[in-house]
Amino acid sequence: MSETLFDRQMLEALICPVTQGRLAFDAERQELISKGAGLAFPIRDGIPVMLVDEARKLEE
């Protein structure tokens, strides 16, 4: 999936469900990164999955 399929305006509207902080977009992995929570939320078929149970823990 290319970066163009992910709506940048939607990214700006989304916040981390854990910290309520901003998210960073990782185009290569198709994830939204919450550094504060140490989680990466997947984007599947262009849809961000903002469930903590579905997030990947970031390596330190």
Separation CA 4–CA 19 (nearest Å): 27
User: What domains appear along the chain, each with residue ranges and CATH number?
Assistant: 3-57 (2.20.25.10)
SS3 of 33, please? strand
For residue 53, what are the contacts with CB-CB under 8 A and spacing of at least 6?
none
Interval 8-58: pLDDT, tens: 677 778 999 999 999 999 989 999 999 999 999 999 988 899 999 999 999
pTM metric for this prediction: 0.83
Q: Which residues is 26 bridged to in the sheet?
A: 31
